[in-house]
Amino acid sequence: MNTESERKGIAVVGTKAKGGIHAVIENHIQAGVYDDYDYYLIASHDDGGMLKRFYTYFGALASLIGLLLRGKVSICHLHGSHKGSIYRKALFIFVCRLFRCKVIFHLHGSVFARTYDSAGWFYRGLVKYVLNHANSVFVLSQYWANYVGSISPGSDIRIINNFPSPVFEELFQERRFNTREETKLLFLGYIGQRKGIYDLVEAVDLLKAQGVSGFRITVGGNGEIEQLKALIKARDLGAYFDVIGWVSGEQKYQLMDESDVLLLPSHNEGLPIAILEAMSAGLAVISTTVGGIPEAIPDNHSGILIEPGDQQALANAIATYINNAALIEQAAKRARERYDAAYSSAANLKTIKSVLGGLADMKLSTVR
């Protein structure tokens, strides 16, 4: 078997399904996280039926084993969340330990805490196995660091803020505030209850009843698209919404450029990449007090946070920005300051590379 010094590669394991985790992996690659190493991108999960997901998972496991047998990798960067992801990643960690390959477990799960707290002994034991046998655990905020630390006190826990692609940063420099007659709001995320999209419909219904106008909401995302469209039609709110489905790449860039405010009234979150993209691009943010969001937006000067599910508060927040464009500019500029200090690729790259470098130099005898 090859020595540790010969195995300089990194296996990056995660989903290729549409969503925030896949975006984070792509952003890490674009930002140069792995530029000092040979890296191998392995998809362990995808959208689709059970047979496709089964094939994807075991194909990924075979790919990792092949790399380990050939001595190509010394570090495995596992991106995971909750429920089925924990089961999948536990087997990956077991395999890595057999080959004495170091592991970073990167936790993204928005409902990880709720799932763990309500789970039985077997799932809890599996979570502890994953956390205890990773050489380093990456979490998205201090909130998650505290929670994970309560489960696995001896783990090396690092706060690695999600960071968006640097391309959105250019929009802030070019943005002209207070130039639109109509306030344009943007929802980006999975279309379903967890992201609060139906609360948003109820809030707009309240605004309509109050005679509030001068705004339009673009909804981008995958999920319950037809159900959302049916609800909007039933409430006669078509004049307020454009539901366009999944967006990425140039289309997302264009939407960020054209919008004033990001809406994400989620019920559970880690730290959504969409919020950080908005902060970098110069949008004001309306979201909720869940997960790591209050750390990114600590006060009303840098955005508006409400309690999840509070439809009246959501309507009031939207009306606040519609009626005072200067507040949008103030919040956007404050949010960009926070982004530059803590959430940009430059702010986080040093920490990630330091961990990778330390693990790459670690002797086999010290692998946990």
CATH number at residue 277: 3.40.50.2000
Say yes or no: 219 and 317 in one domain. Answer: yes
Q: What is the pLDDT of residue 365?
A: 35
What domain range is 34 assigned to?
4-163+345-366
Q: What is the pLDDT of residue 190?
A: 92
**Residue 70 pLDDT exceeds 70:** yes
Find the mean pLDDT for residues 32-58: 92
Say yes or no: 206 and 190 in one domain. Answer: yes
Question: What is the rounded average pLDDT for all residues in the chain?
Answer: 91
pLDDT band at 233 (very low <50, low <70, confident <90, very high): very high
Cα separation, 314 vs 287, in Å, equals 8
% of the chain residues with pLDDT over 70: 96
Say yes or no: 187 and 158 in one domain. Answer: no
pLDDT band at 21 (very low <50, low <70, confident <90, very high): confident
Q: Which residues pair with 334 in a beta bridge?
A: none
Say yes or no: 170 and 303 in one domain. Answer: yes
User: pTM of the predicted model, to two decimals?
Assistant: 0.76
Say yes or no: 176 and 96 in one domain. Answer: no
Say yes or no: 159 and 174 in one domain. Answer: no
